[in-house]
Amino acid sequence: MHERIIVGAGCFWGVEEAFRAITGIIQTQAGYAGGWVEHPSYEDVCAGTTGHAEVVQLQFDPTIISLATLLNHFWAMLEPPLDSDPQYRPLIICSTAAQLELALASKLAQPRLADLRIEILIDLPFYPAEEYHQQCYSKWRMRFERRAKAV
């Protein structure tokens, strides 16, 4: 049985690509969560009128990768000082009370992040981002590599 958790750690393009590379991640999806507007658009989120952050919904197989290991990857992505833009704020949205308990305990075990505001919530709506935001690095990797070679 697969589990689901939502994480935000900056621009969803990089976060999604980093998690896609981890064995045990079954599916990723870039999107928006943590705000008050239903079905926001990228433009709305960028304008700061929705309260949403850019996030990635992760489907993972807990028999291959534990939630504790996934959370360790998440904590490693956060580099103080964090971007102050609310759109890029760090957050974890858990699907179950057990996930919430583990995420809260895991944060306490991160002394370098003790002074940072990191939201850890449960069962909030997730709104998928527009298709052009899904797996951007995979879609555009060849374009980026061609440009890098041309320089």
The mean pLDDT value for 88-108 works out to: 96
Provide φ and ψ at 71, rounded to 5°: -65, -35
The answer to whether the beta carbons of residues 9 and 19 sit under 8 Å apart is no
pLDDT at 143: 59
Domain ranges of the chain: 3-150
Instruction: Look up residue 45 and give its two tokens.
Output: 């989120």
Mean of per-residue pLDDT scores for the chain: 89
CATH class for the region spanning 3-150: alpha beta
pLDDT at 123: 95
Instruction: Look up residue 43 and give its two tokens.
Output: 């433009």
**Which of 30-40 are b and which e, b meaning 16 or more Cβ less than 10 Å from the residue's Cβ?**
bbbbbbeeeeb
The mean pLDDT value for 94-117 works out to: 93
Res. 139: pLDDT tops 90: no
pLDDT at 141: 66
Instruction: Look up residue 105 and give its two tokens.
Output: 């305990």
**Catalytic site residues?**
11
Instruction: Look up residue 65 and give its two tokens.
Output: 């990768």
pLDDT in tens, 42-91: 999 999 999 999 999 999 999 999 999 999 999 999 876 676 889 999 99
Entry pTM: 0.88
pLDDT at 146: 56
pLDDT at 142: 59
Task: Select the more confidently predicted residue: 135 or 106.
Answer: 106
